[in-house]
């Protein structure tokens, strides 16, 4: 059986960490990417010992311009071939658009949009040449409607979904598939660093991270284009599609509360 190698960004925790565990269980070699070298190395050591796979750890901050190209060059120089690309890294921020630092907006777009696009562009040609490859991009149920009080994050995830669905159709017949995982609120540290823990959407409707990752992984293996985990999230997707757009925006503004009045408190600066 041919050896398969997966590249997973944002692999040090949350959905990315579970992706790594699921891949390792299938004897897939791993290239693990995130900012924290210690967490990545501990994960790599654990999975290598448990499953007898090969691992490559590359600490990388994808919010830095040019990081995707440098990552590609390191992997290529090390002689590794990527068969599965998990574009999982991403982060969010909550606050009034004009009060959040512009640098944070730029970092969010660099990670959620630019790095994802660049990594796909860099690794895709070899997959097409081999007529084999799988790409999984992590979007969100945020991709189905605007998100007042977190508008840049919501817009970035809409890009990921449309990009993934369009590219999947473009690649029909090549042997390469693109899967878009669009989870709703998930019990990871994401909501804490994005200052969204107390919003209604996270307080009352969140899924276990292992369930979300397993659904995404199965969708990748089957070549499914779009997967929305959980019944409540599927209903949200449908309601956004068929509801009056003005009402949808007002509802989303409500669920992305609480925020203090403008100018009364510093805003969160979230991290991956």
User: What's the token pair of residue 247?
Assistant: 């009402």
The model's pTM: 0.84
Residue 117 or residue 268, greater confidence: 117
Residue 5: pLDDT band (50, 70, 90) is very high
Please, are residues 14 and 183 in contact by the beta-carbon 8 Å criterion? no
Residue 153 a catalytic site member: yes
Mean of pLDDT values over 79-85: 98
pLDDT at 200: 53
List CB contacts of 50: < 8 A, sequence separation 6 or more.
24
Q: How far is CA 200 from CA 77, 95, 204, in A?
A: 47, 15, 6
Please tell me which residue in 153, 154, 159, 217 is annotated as part of the active site: 153
Least confident of 39-53, 55-69, 241-255: 241-255
% the chain with pLDDT above 70: 79
pLDDT at 270: 40
Residue 194 has pLDDT above 50, yes or no: no
pLDDT tens, residue by residue, 137-152: 999 999 998 888 999 9
Residue 248: pLDDT band (50, 70, 90) is very low
Mean of pLDDT values over 200-205: 54
Residue 242 has pLDDT above 80, yes or no: no
pLDDT at 258: 62
pLDDT at 155: 97
Query: Strand pairing partners for 33?
Result: 9, 58
The residue assigned the tokens 């924290």 is: 36
Closest CA to 88 of 180, 210, 3: 180
Q: How far is CA 146 from CA 58, 115, 262, in A?
A: 34, 22, 20
Please, are residues 42 and 92 in contact by the beta-carbon 8 Å criterion? no
pLDDT tens, residue by residue, 43-65: 999 999 999 999 999 999 999 99
Mean of pLDDT values over 181-192: 75
Q: What is the set of domains in the chain, with CATH numbers?
A: 5-255 (3.40.50.720)
């Amino acid at each position: 059986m041919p050896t398969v190698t997966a590249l997973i960004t944002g692999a040090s925790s949350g959905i990315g960490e579970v992706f790594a565990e699921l891949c390792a269980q299938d004897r897939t070699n791993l290239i693990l990417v995130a900012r924290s070298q210690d967490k990545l190395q501990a994960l790599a050591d654990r999975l290598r010992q448990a499953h007898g796979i090969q691992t490559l750890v590359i600490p990388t901050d994808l919010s830095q311009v040019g990081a995707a190209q440098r990552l590609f060059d390191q992997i290529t120089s090390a002689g590794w071939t990527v068969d599965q690309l998990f574009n999982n890294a991403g982060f969010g921020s909550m606050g009034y658009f004009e009060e959040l630092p512009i640098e944070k907006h730029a970092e969010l777009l660099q990670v959620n949009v630019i790095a994802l696009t660049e990594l796909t562009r860099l690794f895709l040609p070899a997959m097409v040449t081999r007529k084999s490859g799988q790409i999984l991009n992590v979007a969100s149920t945020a991709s189905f409607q605007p998100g007042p009080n977190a508008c840049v994050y919501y817009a970035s995830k809409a890009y990921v979904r449309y990009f993934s669905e369009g590219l999947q159709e473009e690649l029909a017949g090549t042997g390469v598939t693109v899967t878009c995982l669009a989870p709703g609120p998930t019990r990871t540290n994401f909501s804490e660093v994005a200052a969204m823990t107390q919003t209604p959407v996270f307080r009352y409707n969140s899924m276990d991270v292992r369930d979300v990752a397993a659904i995404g992984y199965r969708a990748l293996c089957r070549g499914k284009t779009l997967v929305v985990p959980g019944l409540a999230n599927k209903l949200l997707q449908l309601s956004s599609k068929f509801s009056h757009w003005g009402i949808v925006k007002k509802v989303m503004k409500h669920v992305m509360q609480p925020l203090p009045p403008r100018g009364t408190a510093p805003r969160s600066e979230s991290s991956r």
